[in-house]
Structure 1
Amino acid sequence: MRMSRISSRGRLPKIRKISALRLALLTTLTGLLVMFAFSGCSLLHKEQAGGPLSHEINEQEDVVYSHGYTIKNLDRLDEFMERRSGSLRLIQYTPEGGPIYKELRYKGGKLVIAYDTTEDDFGPKETGTFVCTALNREDESTVLKYTLTGCEGEYPETALLWIGFELSEMDDFGFVLKYGVNLRNEINTIQEKLVKDLQDGSVAEADHFKLSHGQLQKIFRELVLANYMHDKTLTGSCNIKPSVSYELQIDINNHELQFAWSECDQSADGKEMTALARYIIGMVQEEKLYKELPDIRGYYE
């Protein structure tokens, strides 16, 4: 079953709360980053590539980042950094929708980066290569940075990929996570309540449930990294009895997203969403309000 994004308010999604001025500033900043990373590449290394990189995208292997929307196969980049061998392709879309192609390859203990900006309508259309000594990963609360360092030429440090997840830029954010056998557990930040399945036919409820901004920021980060804005192919069918099911509703920027799946869904999307749900559940179960709820009294056979 393909679980598409659903808007109960009849609006297209507004990914970020951006005024005209902020949008102009964001576009300018992104343009500067692109210029910094690529216009200066001819200064980093004089060697030119033989031609454009392949513009065919491998959805299973290439790292693909659409600004403010989706990030695919990010684990491939982390594996590449840990392996320190072979090659990796990265396709990054600008805010205007133009793809920038990059290919990273370890050679002689260094990183050779080939780039192709020929499909970027708002930047320099060029191809080339430059060389750096290392790729560093820096994980902050609102941004995940991948930075090339020790680069030859005028710019020794260059941003390769920055993924932002600043919650304060959203108009609103809340979620409802139902889980367990027959979905009898519920974490609801919209109605501010918790429901715990006692597994004896009854449930315990707590009102006035809230998570701190810091906790919501962490959850939002996991949502972005789980590619929450991208359509998921999920299944609720399961041959385990009884089985654990999940339903997740996200309300963000006057837009509603819904997902449903079971523990039997071992697809990449299913595993990703199950890990996200368990992250949220683990965080909530450490809360004092949850611990004050009655202990589970029964069990499911």
Structure 2
Amino acid sequence: MPGSVKERALRYGMVTLVWLLAAVVLAGCFLTENVKGKLSHKINEQQDVVYYNGTGLLNLNKLDEFLERKAGSQRIIQYTIEGDPLFMELRYEGDKLSVTYDNTEDAFGSKEISMYTCSTLERKEESTELKYTLTGCEGEYPEAELLRVHYGLSEQADFGFVLQYGVNRRNEINTLEQRLVKDLQDGRTVEASDFRLPHAKLQSIYRELVLAGYMQDKTLTEACNRKPAVTYALLVEMNGNERNFAWSECDQSADGKVMTALAQSIISEVQESELYQALPETKGYYE
């Protein structure tokens, strides 16, 4: 089921997308040239990296795949505060990166299409942010930030989640009510007392949520032709707002795969804890 959106734009400030030419071409920092042909303005939400101002990021993994294969092209689209799209395309041409920037749909922009060349795209991850930087660029400034993703948990006023999973969702990880429930798969469940996750694990889980684009609507399904089937329900609360998702292991859509990977990451974080490992082992199994 799609997540309900209650967030206010700009409330979170989790992702800052710095568009190289939007900032520096006007200041004359880069040697650029206008080009006649514009980029396609049809957005592919399955392939393009898309940043919706204030409400999250789609398909960040596509940028990682582009960086690793060092071939082909990748588009990045940012929406301005006013809701206008800005288009950028990175394309490998031999051992160089050709960068095309198109702001012709920006009501407050210069309405130009510009092109320049850089040598590499670098990815650097720190404890609370992930940064992509173009290096070896032509012009006065050889290095410029392309994309910065923030996931510092300490920057948020409050954060909590509830993940229910398994057959009939009998397992539960609940940081809002400090509940940890394990399904023993023999008709019984067992609950840990005084369940709390340390800040380091909460930070790690928050990072996974941000990189999965949890603030965007997801097209998910709970339908499944397997018996029994593993299903998931995830509630995330942040700064007084909430997101809800529900899906099954059978959902092999792009969104379904992302959410299942996210759930498995959260489960792994919790199952590594001493509190979880102290719970009784599973007694039975589902047929």
How far apart, in 1, do the equivalents of 2:18 and 2:219 lie?
Answer: 34
* 2:139 maps to which of 153, 173, 181: 153
Deviation, 1:148, is 0.2
**Partner residue of 1:9?**
none
How far apart, in 1, do the equivalents of 2:69 and 2:286 lie?
Answer: 44
Alignment partner of 1:39 is 2:36: no
Alignment partner of 1:69 is 2:55: yes
CA contact (8 A) 1:198 1:298 kept: yes
Listed as ranges, the gaps of 5+ residues in structure 2 are: none
* Equivalences for residues 156-171 of structure 1 within 5 A: 156-171=142-157
Alignment partner of 1:101 is 2:87: yes
**Partner residue of 1:238?**
224
Cα displacement string for residues 123-153 of structure 1 (whole angstroms, at most 9, x for unaligned residues): 4443211111000011222222111001111
CA contact (8 A) 1:104 1:111 kept: yes
**Partner residue of 1:250?**
236
Deviation, 1:30, is 7.4
**Partner residue of 1:277?**
263
CA contact (8 A) 1:44 1:131 kept: no
How far apart, in 1, do the equivalents of 2:201 and 2:251 lie?
Answer: 27
Q: Evaluate the alpha carbon distance shift between residue 228 and residue 67 of structure 1 in structure 2; reply closer, same or farther with a 3 A threshold.
A: same
Q: Secondary structure at the match of 1:284?
A: helix
How far apart, in 1, do the equivalents of 2:170 and 2:2 lie?
Answer: 21
How far apart, in 2, do the equivalents of 1:132 and 1:51 lie?
Answer: 20
* CA RMSD across the alignment: 2.4
CA contact (8 A) 1:171 1:253 kept: yes
How far apart, in 2, do the equivalents of 1:191 and 1:131 lie?
Answer: 52
Q: Secondary structure at the match of 2:168?
A: helix
Cα displacement string for residues 227-262 of structure 1 (whole angstroms, at most 9, x for unaligned residues): 111111111121211111111111112112211111
Deviation, 1:57, is 1.6
Aligned length: 286
Farther-moved stretch of structure 1 (130-139 vs 96-105)? 96-105
Q: Evaluate the alpha carbon distance shift between residue 87 and residue 96 of structure 1 in structure 2; reply closer, same or farther with a 3 A threshold.
A: same
CA contact (8 A) 1:36 1:158 kept: no
**TM-score, structure 2 normalization:** 0.90
CA contact (8 A) 2:18 2:147 kept: no
* Equivalences for residues 1-301 of structure 1 within 5 A: 2-5=1-4, 12-14=6-8, 35-40=22-27, 43-301=29-287
CA contact (8 A) 2:17 2:146 kept: no
Listed as ranges, the gaps of 5+ residues in structure 1 are: 7-11
Q: Evaluate the alpha carbon distance shift between residue 168 and residue 124 of structure 1 in structure 2; reply closer, same or farther with a 3 A threshold.
A: farther
Farther-moved stretch of structure 1 (272-281 vs 226-235)? 226-235
How far apart, in 2, do the equivalents of 1:253 and 1:16 lie?
Answer: 12
Q: Evaluate the alpha carbon distance shift between residue 150 and residue 30 of structure 1 in structure 2; reply closer, same or farther with a 3 A threshold.
A: same
CA contact (8 A) 2:87 2:103 kept: yes
How far apart, in 1, do the equivalents of 2:9 and 2:192 lie?
Answer: 32
How far apart, in 2, do the equivalents of 1:59 and 1:193 lie?
Answer: 36
Q: Secondary structure at the match of 2:265?
A: helix
Please state which structure has a larger fraction of its residues in helix: 1
Cα displacement string for residues 136-187 of structure 1 (whole angstroms, at most 9, x for unaligned residues): 0112222221110011111110111112222223221101111111111110
- Report % sequence identity: 56
Q: Secondary structure at the match of 2:165?
A: strand
CA contact (8 A) 2:85 2:106 kept: yes
CA contact (8 A) 1:15 1:253 kept: no
CA contact (8 A) 2:34 2:112 kept: no
Farther-moved stretch of structure 1 (47-56 vs 212-221)? 47-56
**TM-score, structure 1 normalization:** 0.86
Farther-moved stretch of structure 1 (94-103 vs 265-274)? 94-103
CA contact (8 A) 2:11 2:54 kept: no
Q: What residue identity is the alignment partner of 1:191?
A: E
